[in-house]
């Protein structure tokens, strides 16, 4: 299987190189035949990478420890379902997985564009397969997962198979880690498709609305996956790492946030080009920046230049990624510079109080946030290179910069959609914003009187009420108008309204999800932490909870040994819950990890950690966090994903327009053929 997998990688590299050459030739010669051969090579690339993935999975599930990757990242007693996670649990396997997901995106792009976008497809294939050449080559030549183990014997190397492997990293042995890396990689990898289409549009000078309309959906899908991956990563950190939080501004966390922020700016900016023919340069730049940041995030995780619980081990792969990042920047920015004359705006900004201005402000704030997070992430690297010492930038810096920007973005989330195109009159402002402002002020006063005095938390709640009132008001007004015109009942009118413009109303649902996330974030100001030593019968107080230690236990499983504490939680004089945090020690990897006990509610989480054992007294070290409103972060994430799915569904109007455009393009191709 090692040889089979390696042959698959070699064949994939050959097909990728051919696809790049044939794509360029097909575009230059306007040859459909050559372009089709490039597309078939792209599909063959998918087949070859898929065969390599199957080969590695067979090695993993058959416990073939002669394979170095399997011996390093798996073991016999690893539960069956976690063997899937072995594929992306290490450097070599994760790069193969990255390349496989890229090949899936490529195959879908080819198959879905068999009869459309023919001018863009040759160069799109060339650019995307250039990315394929890089990742398949890195996987084969630098981080090959199909290397066998060997040992020196009599001056020669002989094959060697250990009796068991080192096991999967314990931090990855958690259910959400079967989903989180897939979501995150689908987000990172998927940004390559809009980038390739954008570059193809620059090469062919086809810089009108067509590439924007097409690229929007190809961006929304990975944007949704990336957002879901970020939230699942936070959920994993919250449940596994045992530090009581879900976001620490860790460098690798930041690396995943950066392309998501840039993609958010692009998805908003394209609407201005579609409606008003403006921000064309912005849109190309944002496509480039989003993809570049996706590769940068992959580089940061794998280069070993930063320390993170999320990062892979030190390796020599970093310089290759650095060169690739430089190549992306040089090629894309050169193309952009050469095509500036084709990217002139068709209109100018008529008023500061307009929807165009709202989107422009949104872009500036998002890019300022991207720059601030990027600067804080790479500053330790820069300080070490310049001064010879690492200066770490911690959460206080990021919070100081990101929180005010986040609140501004939250305000624009509600205000932006209510502004009119070109210019918003005073009457329109009064009509659209009076009720949301009244609701927000009332909510702010009530919260202040109830004791909410933390400024940022109060602002999150105040602006959350404003945005919710704006968005829900749009649903209500639209449904009432349709109800009066059609006679439908309110809920049927609401459904019909949303189905007619899924993009708009799906976006509104996403905005509601953002409000819920900000409500969850507001609870961070009231988080409490208590730590004490406990043994049987001991009591501790944590907020409104009284916690009694009933027993301390130990146990053994084939995969790990564990210590646990059985705790009874009392609230308001009544038994509230029984909780059992654990401290596990995994045998194969010889690594400990906490298994957190959680009691969730809409108001707060009771979060209990068995942090270890005090060597002097033998008592258990128990940490208790009371985390208000955390569940709203996860609910908000789910709502955002649902809103994105709604926005991805083609509306009735879009389907009709697509049919008209397709008929026009086919007629044009027939005339050109004649």
Sequence ranges of the domains in the chain: 1-149+160-173, 219-421, 422-525+636-648, 527-631
Interval 601-611: pLDDT, tens: 999 999 999 98
- Written in H, E and C, the secondary structure of 520-572 is HHHHHHHCEEEEEEECCCCEEEECCEEEEEEEEEEEECCCEEEEEEEEEEEEC
Per DSSP bridges, beta strands 528-534 and 545-556 are unpaired
pLDDT over 90 (residue 116):
no
The pLDDT of residue 667 is: 64
Interval 518-546: pLDDT, tens: 999 999 989 999 999 999 999 999 989 99
Interval 80-90: pLDDT, tens: 888 999 999 88
Interval 15-45: pLDDT, tens: 999 999 999 999 999 999 999 999 999 999 9
How far is residue 375's CA from residue 251's CA, in Å, rounded to a whole number? 11
The pLDDT of residue 551 is: 92
Interval 271-284: pLDDT, tens: 988 888 888 999 99
> What is the pLDDT confidence band of residue 630, given thresholds at 50, 70 and 90?
very high
Mean pLDDT over 309-332 rounds to: 81
H-helix or E-strand containing 638?
helix 631-648
In 3D space, the residue among 69, 55, 56, 53 whose CA is nearest the CA of residue 165 turns out to be 69
The pLDDT of residue 171 is: 80
> What is the pLDDT confidence band of residue 612, given thresholds at 50, 70 and 90?
confident
Interval 553-579: pLDDT, tens: 999 988 889 999 999 999 988 888 999
Residue 605: beta bridge partners?
627
> What is the pLDDT confidence band of residue 380, given thresholds at 50, 70 and 90?
confident
CB-based contacts of 135, cutoff 8 Å, min separation 6: 95, 98, 99, 102
> What is the pLDDT confidence band of residue 424, given thresholds at 50, 70 and 90?
confident
- How many percent of the chain have pLDDT more than 70? 94
The pLDDT of residue 26 is: 95
Rounded to the nearest integer, the mean pLDDT of the chain is 90
Q: What is the pTM of this model?
A: 0.93
In order, the DSSP letters of 3-23 are HHHHHHHHHHHHHHHHHHHHH
> What is the pLDDT confidence band of residue 352, given thresholds at 50, 70 and 90?
confident
The pLDDT of residue 329 is: 96
Q: Is 259 helix (H, G, I), strand (E, B) or coil?
A: helix
The pLDDT of residue 385 is: 75
């Amino acid at each position: 299987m090692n040889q089979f997998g390696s042959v698959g990688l070699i064949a994939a590299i050959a097909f990728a190189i051919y696809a790049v050459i044939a794509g360029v030739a097909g575009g230059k010669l306007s040859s459909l035949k050559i372009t089709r051969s490039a597309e078939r090579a792209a599909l063959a690339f998918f087949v070859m990478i898929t065969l390599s993935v199957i080969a590695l999975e067979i090695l993993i599930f058959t416990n073939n420890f002669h394979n170095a990757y399997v011996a390093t990242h798996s073991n016999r007693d690893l539960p069956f379902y976690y063997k899937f996670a072995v594929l992306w649990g290490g450097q070599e396997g994760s790069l193969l997985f990255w390349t496989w997901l890229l090949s899936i995106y490529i195959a879908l792009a080819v198959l879905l564009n068999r009869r459309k976008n023919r001018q863009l497809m040759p160069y799109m294939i060339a650019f995307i397969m250039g990315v394929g050449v890089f990742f398949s080559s890195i996987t084969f030549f630098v981080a090959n997962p199909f290397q066998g183990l060997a040992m020196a014997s009599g001056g020669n190397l002989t094959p060697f198979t250990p009796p068991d492997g080192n096991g999967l990293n314990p931090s990855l042995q958690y259910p959400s880690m079967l989903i989180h890396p897939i979501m995150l990689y689908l987000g990172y990898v998927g940004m390559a498709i809009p980038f390739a289409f954008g570059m193809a549009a620059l090469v062919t000078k086809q810089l009108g609305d067509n590439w924007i309309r097409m690229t929007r959906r190809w961006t929304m899908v990975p944007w949704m996956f990336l957002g879901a991956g970020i939230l699942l990563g936070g959920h994993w950190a919250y449940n596994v790492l045992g530090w009581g939080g879900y976001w620490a501004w860790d460098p690798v966390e930041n690396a995943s946030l950066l392309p998501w922020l840039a993609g958010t700016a692009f998805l908003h900016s394209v609407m201005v080009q579609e409606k008003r023919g403006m921000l064309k340069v912005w849109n190309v730049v944002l496509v480039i920046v989003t993809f570049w940041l996706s590769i940068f995030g992959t580089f940061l995780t794998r280069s070993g230049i930063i320390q993170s619980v999320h990062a892979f081990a030190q390796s020599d792969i970093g310089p290759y990624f650095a060169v690739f990042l430089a190549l992306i920047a040089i090629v894309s920015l050169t193309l952009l510079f050469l095509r500036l004359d084709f990217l002139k705006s068709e209109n100018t900004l008529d008023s500061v109080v307009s929807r165009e201005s709202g989107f422009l402000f949104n872009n500036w704030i998002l890019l300022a946030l991207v720059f601030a997070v990027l600067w804080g992430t790479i500053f330790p690297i820069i300080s070490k290179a310049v001064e010879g010492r690492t200066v770490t930038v911690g959460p206080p810096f990021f919070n100081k910069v990101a929180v005010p920007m986040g609140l501004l973005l939250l305000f624009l989330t509600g205000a932006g959609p209510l502004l009119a195109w070109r210019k918003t009159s005073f009457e329109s402002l009064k009509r659209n914003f009076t009720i949301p402002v009244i609701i927000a002020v009332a909510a702010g006063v009530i919260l202040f009187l109830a004791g909410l005095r933390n400024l940022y938390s109060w602002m999150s709640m105040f602006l959350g009420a404003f945005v919710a009132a704006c968005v829900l008001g749009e649903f209500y007004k639209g449904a009432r108008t349709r109800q009066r015109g059609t006679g439908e009942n309110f809920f049927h009118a609401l459904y019909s309204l949303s189905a007619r413009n899924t993009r708009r109303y799906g976006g509104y649902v996403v905005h509601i999800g953002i409000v819920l996330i900000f409500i969850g974030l507001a609870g961070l100001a009231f988080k409490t932490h208590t730590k004490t030593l406990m043994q049987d019968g001991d009591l501790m107080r944590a907020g409104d909870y009284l916690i009694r230690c009933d027993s301390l236990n130990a146990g053994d499983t084939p995969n790990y040994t564990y210590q646990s504490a059985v705790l009874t939680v009392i609230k308001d004089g009544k038994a509230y819950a029984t909780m059992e945090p654990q401290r596990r020690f995994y045998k194969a990897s010889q690594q400990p990890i906490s298994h957190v006990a959680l009691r969730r509610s809409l108001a707060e989480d009771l979060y209990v950690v068995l942090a270890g054992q005090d060597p002097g007294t033998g008592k258990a070290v128990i940490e208790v966090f009371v985390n208000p409103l955390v569940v709203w972060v996860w609910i908000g994430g789910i709502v955002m994903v649902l809103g994105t799915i709604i926005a991805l569904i083609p509306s009735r109007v879009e389907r009709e327009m697509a049919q008209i455009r397709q008929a026009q393009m086919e007629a044009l191709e027939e005339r050109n053929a004649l």
